[in-house]
Structures are given as C-alpha cells and as structure tokens.
C-alpha cells in the first residue's frame, strides 16, 4: 500500500495515542479459515496497513476505536466517515465490484465522487496492485451483512415543506439542478443527488464542505470537478440548501445544518 496512504491513516491513529496502551491488540493477523484467501488478504490490509477503522469506526472518550461498533461510522478532519457495516447509509448498496472501481478511480456508478480526506487516500490507493484493491473491496463489501432486500430498501424523497426547505429548493434550482437533474449519462451531467451518500449520513458536514469548497483535482491531475460556492451562497442560503437536500433524501432534518453553514461561511463555531 502506498506510504502516503499509510501516513494519513497512522497520523489519525496517533491522535489517540493516549488510549493505545490500553486498547492495542498485539500479535499477527490470524486468517479466518472459513473465508477465501482474497477476503483474508483484504481483512489483513484493511485492518492493518490500511487501518480503515481509524476513520470509519467511532471512538470512545479515551480516543480508542469502539471495537464493538467496528465500521459503524466515525469522524476524520471535520468530515464524517460513513458506516461500512450493516448501518451503511448508502442509498445504493455497495458491491465488491463497485467498491473496487471506487478505490481504483474515486468514482463508481450510482455513487458519489470521493471528496474530503478520502480523496487523498484514493489518489494513493490508485497506485496499489489491483489484486490488493480487489481484496480490500471484497472484505469491505462483506461488512454489510444485511440481506439484499433490506439493503435495497431506502427512504423515499419527500416534498419540501416549511420556509427554509422551500427557499433551499429555489437555491437548488439555480445552483445545482442544471447538472444534477440531468444525471451522468449526458454531457455536463452529474449524479442525481438522491443517490449521494452525503444526503443520508447523520451530519450535514460533508455536504456543507462539498458545496462550499467544491471538488477540485490537484494541479496537473485529471478528475471529477465541481465548482466551489464559497462567496456565491450566503450562510442562510447554504443552510437552506442543506435543509432541502436532506428532504430530497427522505430523511429527518439535520440539527447541525445552520451551525455547519455558519462555521464555513462566517468562520464562527
């Protein structure tokens, strides 16, 4: 696995060094004889070198990962790392194939483009051996143990109601709808936002960052692009848009949309 990916994960783990001496489990990885060689390779990489749980697992007060809630969702650099287990909020269930494509390219059919801290991880993972990416994908896909019918069942979008959501609907029509309503199948189109995991996670932080900061590849690199709306949307407009997008996902309103908008636009906690 590329060293820069390891460094990011290890720096995240070092933030909880105070709890490490109490919660660290020493010893070599023990393969699960009931699983395939590919699955065991993926588990070894994800649990060891990749240390995916550093971001995707919640932590206790001592800063250690809550092992009983492995991959139930965590936090990283002011972003939410979504659950990868049976609590996954992804509107479209992940499969080993779509995860492999996502890990290789940063984008997969019916899934959102990578952003935030994960973008750097995937830029480096793209240089890893393909067999390792397929192994990680096989392991991570297996974490969601729900039956197919349960995984496919998702809340239905609801109509905007209330002044804030109606104002947000107007902001969406002017700033987002031209691309996202067309879908990726046409030139200039983007993912229909009902499919975006950022609308379904427990916090508005990821979506607020994406709208405010955009998605811009590093200089000299090709990749998916979305404009930044910093300076184009006021604090209230961003909060209203977040409210409307949450309704689009058929989910209860976020409690932190106003505070996230205020933090990003006005720089106030």
Output the domain CATH number for residue 188.
1.10.760.10
In a domain, 96, yes or no: yes
Q: Residues 111, 179: one domain?
A: no
In a domain, 27, yes or no: no
Q: pTM of the prediction?
A: 0.88
Q: Residues 70, 106: one domain?
A: yes
Q: At which of 87, 117, 150 does a domain end? A: 150
Q: Residues 83, 188: one domain?
A: no
pLDDT, one tens digit per residue, over 107-157 is 999 999 999 999 999 988 888 999 999 999 999 999 999 998 888 777 788
Q: Residues 194, 135: one domain?
A: no
Q: At which of 102, 125, 150 does a domain end? A: 150
Higher pLDDT, 15 or 173: 173
Residue 13 in this model has a pLDDT that exceeds 90: no
Q: What is the pLDDT of residue 28?
A: 76
Q: Residues 144, 167: one domain?
A: no
Backbone angles phi, psi at 140, to 5 degrees: -65, -40
Domain count, the chain: 2
Instruction: Check: CB of residue 189 under 8 Å from CB of residue 179.
Output: yes
Instruction: Check: CB of residue 107 under 8 Å from CB of residue 114.
Output: yes
Q: Residues 89, 58: one domain?
A: yes
Print the SS3 string covering the chain: CCHHHHHHHHHHHHCCHHHHHHHCCCCCCCCCCCCCHHHHHHHHHHHHHCCCHHHHCCECCCCCECHHHCCCCEEECCEEECCCCCCCCCCCCCCHHHHHHHHHHCCCCCCCCCCCHHHHHHHHHCCCCHHHHHHHHHHHHHCCCCCHHHHHCCCCCCCCCCHHHHHHHHHHHHHCHHHHCCCCCCCCCCCCHHHCHHHCCCCCHHHHHHHHHCECCCCCCCCCCECCCECCECHHHHHHHHHHHHHHCCCCCCCCHHHHHHHHHCCCC
Stated length of the chain: 269
In a domain, 129, yes or no: yes
pLDDT, one tens digit per residue, over 17-55 is 444 444 445 567 889 999 999 999 999 999 998 899 999
- Of 39, 68, 73, the closest CA to residue 55 belongs to 73
Task: Taking residues 53-72, report their average pLDDT.
Answer: 96
Q: Residues 118, 201: one domain?
A: no
Residue 166 in this model has a pLDDT that exceeds 70: yes
Q: What is the pLDDT of residue 25?
A: 54
pLDDT, one tens digit per residue, over 177-231 is 999 999 999 999 999 999 999 999 999 999 999 999 999 988 888 888 999 999 9
pLDDT band at 15 (very low <50, low <70, confident <90, very high): very low
> Cβ contacts of residue 87 below 8 Å, gap of 6+?
72, 73
Residue 78 in this model has a pLDDT that exceeds 50: yes
In a domain, 237, yes or no: yes
Q: How far apart, in whole angstroms, are the C-alpha atoms of residue 249 and residue 56?
A: 22
Q: At which of 150, 176, 197 does a domain end? A: 150
Q: Round the average pLDDT of the chain to a whole number and report it.
A: 90
Q: Residues 43, 114: one domain?
A: yes
Residue 234 in this model has a pLDDT that exceeds 50: yes
Q: What is the pLDDT of residue 17?
A: 43
Q: What is the pLDDT of residue 6?
A: 47
In a domain, 23, yes or no: no
Q: Residues 253, 175: one domain?
A: yes
Q: What is the pLDDT of residue 201?
A: 97
Q: Residues 146, 167: one domain?
A: no
Q: How far apart, in whole angstroms, are the C-alpha atoms of residue 39 and residue 256?
A: 38
Q: What residue numbers bound the domain in which 204 lies?
A: 163-266
């Amino acid at each position: 696995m590329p060293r820069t990916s390891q460094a990011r994960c290890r720096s995240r783990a070092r933030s909880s060094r105070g709890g490490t001496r109490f919660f660290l489990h020493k010893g070599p990885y023990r393969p699960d004889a009931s699983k395939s060689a590919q699955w065991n390779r993926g588990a070894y990489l994800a649990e060891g070198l990749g240390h995916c749980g550093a971001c995707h697992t919640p932590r206790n007060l001592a800063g250690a990962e809550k092992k009983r809630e492995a991959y139930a969702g965590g936090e990283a650099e002011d972003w939410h790392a979504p659950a990868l287990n049976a609590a996954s909020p992804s509107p479209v269930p992940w499969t080993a194939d779509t995860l492999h494509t996502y890990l290789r390219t940063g984008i997969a059919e019916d899934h959102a483009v990578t952003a935030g801290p994960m973008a750097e991880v995937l830029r480096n993972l793209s240089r890893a051996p393909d067999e390792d990416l397929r192994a990680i994908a096989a392991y991570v896909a297996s974490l969601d143990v729900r039956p197919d019918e349960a995984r496919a069942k998702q809340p239905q979008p609801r109509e905007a109601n209330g002044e804030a959501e109606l104002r947000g609907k107007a902001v969406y029509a002017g700033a987002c709808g031209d691309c996202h309503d067309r879908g990726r199948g046409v030139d200039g189109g983007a993912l229909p936002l009902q499919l975006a995991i950022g609308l379904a996670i427990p916090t508005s932080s990821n979506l607020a960052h994406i709208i405010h900061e955009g998605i811009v590849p590093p200089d000299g690199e090709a990749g998916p692009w979305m404009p930044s709306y910093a300076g184009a949307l006021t604090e209230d407009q961003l909060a209203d848009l977040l409210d409307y997008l949450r309704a689009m996902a058929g989910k209860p309103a976020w409690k932190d949309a106003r505070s996230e908008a205020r933090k990003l636009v006005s720089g106030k906690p």
